[in-house]
């Protein structure tokens, strides 16, 4: 790899731009798509690689090519700068998540409690609208306060977020489902919410709950059976 191509690849990553590194294996010739032009079959492979977040191999004009996607990091949006959030953040980062914490309560969402983490102090509906969750985003609400959690869930349910989790007991969640139903969400949409949140590992401490949540997010992301564990349907 040439130093200038590595620099361009790193610049794209710093700008959170999805790029595909295209390599001809016979001689190491490399292109960075979409910055560099590429023949149509390679462009098609690059699009597929980025969409599926999976590398592609193809033969083009008698040579073997490797197409290596470099997508921006997955995002984890945590609503509620609470103790469990403090436990969750350092577990999520090494798993490849860029973490944002949303909490209008400035006493909780401080740089002291969340060093180096993007903190948003706006009301949760405005904050979530700005953050615009997409299919590479997980959202988890932890405030336990309907005034803060509900607007965030409302925005998340209208988004393509691949994971939506909400802290709370079954009873709390039944009430939440009733409120969100009144806001116009149907049963199918509400079934997207993982609550009680996290894998069932009998978690007790903040760190254990954080572990159960991040493990569930990974399970859902990877399509594991654990990520689809049945929760009893909640009547609205």
* Best CA proximity match to 102, nearest among 136, 69, 75: 75
The residue among 53 and 134 lying less far from other proteins, judged by its C-beta, is 53
> Cβ of residue 83: shortest distance to other proteins, in angstroms?
26
If binding is defined by CB under 8 A, does position 51 make contact with other proteins? Answer: no
If binding is defined by CB under 8 A, does position 63 make contact with other proteins? Answer: no
The residue among 76 and 177 lying less far from other proteins, judged by its C-beta, is 76
* Stretch binding other proteins (CB under 8 A), from 34-42, 72-80, 195-203, 206-214: 72-80
CB contact burial 142-169 (16+ within 10 A = b; e otherwise):
bbeebebbbbbbbbbbebebbbbbbbbe
| Separation between Cα atoms, residue 216 and residue 214, nearest integer Å | 5
If binding is defined by CB under 8 A, does position 10 make contact with other proteins? Answer: yes
**Which ranges constitute the DSSP H helices of the chain?**
3-14, 40-52, 83-92, 124-131, 146-157, 170-182, 187-190, 206-221
> Cβ of residue 177: shortest distance to other proteins, in angstroms?
34
Sole binder of other proteins in the list 39, 41, 63, 96 (CB under 8 A): 96
Q: Give the interface with other proteins as residue ranges (CB under 8 A).
A: 1-3, 6-7, 9-10, 13, 23, 25, 27-28, 53-55, 57, 64, 66, 68-74, 95-96
């Amino acid at each position: 790899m040439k130093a200038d191509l590595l620099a361009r690849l790193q610049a794209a990553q710093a700008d959170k731009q999805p790029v595909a590194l295209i390599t001809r294996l016979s001689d190491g010739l490399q292109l960075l798509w979409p910055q560099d032009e590429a023949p149509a079959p390679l462009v098609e492979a690059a699009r597929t690689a980025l969409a599926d977040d999976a590398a592609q191999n193809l033969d083009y004009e008698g040579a073997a090519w490797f197409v290596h996607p470099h997508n921006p990091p997955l995002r984890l949006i945590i609503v509620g700068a609470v103790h469990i959030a403090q436990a969750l953040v350092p577990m999520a980062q090494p798993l490849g998540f860029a973490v944002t914490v949303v909490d209008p309560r400035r006493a909780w969402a401080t740089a002291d409690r969340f060093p180096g983490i993007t903190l948003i102090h706006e009301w949760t509906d405005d904050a979530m609208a700005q953050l615009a969750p997409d299919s590479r985003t997980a959202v988890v609400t932890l405030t336990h306060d309907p005034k803060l959690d509900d607007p965030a869930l409302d925005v998340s349910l209208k988004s393509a977020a691949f994971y939506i989790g909400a802290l709370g007991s079954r009873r709390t969640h039944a009430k939440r489902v009733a409120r969100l139903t009144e806001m116009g969400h149907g049963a199918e949409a509400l079934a997207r919410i993982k609550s009680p949140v996290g894998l069932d590992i009998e978690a007790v401490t903040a760190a254990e709950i954080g572990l159960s949540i991040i493990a569930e997010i990974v399970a859902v992301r990877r399509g594991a059976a654990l990520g689809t564990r049945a929760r009893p349907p909640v009547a609205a």
